[in-house]
Amino acid sequence: MVAEITLVAQLKNKQTKEIAFRELIKQYKERLYWHIRKIVVSHDDADDVLQNTFIKIFNNIDKFNEQSKLFSWMYRIATNESITFINKRAKERNLDISDYQQHLASTLESDDFFTGDEIQVILQKAIATLPQKQQLVFNMKYFDELKYEEISEILETSVGGLKASYFHAVKKIEHYIKNNSH
**Least separation, in Å, of the C-beta of 107 and another protein?**
13
**Cβ–Cβ < 8 Å for 53, 77:** yes
**Least separation, in Å, of the C-beta of 156 and another protein?**
23
Q: Does residue 35 interact with another protein by CB under 8 A?
A: no
Amino acid at 27: Q
**Cβ–Cβ < 8 Å for 38, 143:** yes
**Cβ–Cβ < 8 Å for 90, 82:** no
Nearest to 169 by CA among 134, 141, 123, 124: 134
**Of the candidate residues 5, 9, 19, 26, the single one contacting another protein (CB under 8 A):** 26
Cα separation, 155 vs 69, whole angstroms: 13
Binding letters toward another protein, positions 58-97, x by CB under 8 A: x---------------------------------------
Which residues here bind another protein, judged by CB under 8 A? Answer: 18, 22, 25-26, 29-30, 33-34, 37-38, 43, 47, 50-51, 54-55, 58, 113-117, 119-124, 142-143, 166-167, 170-171, 173-174, 177, 181
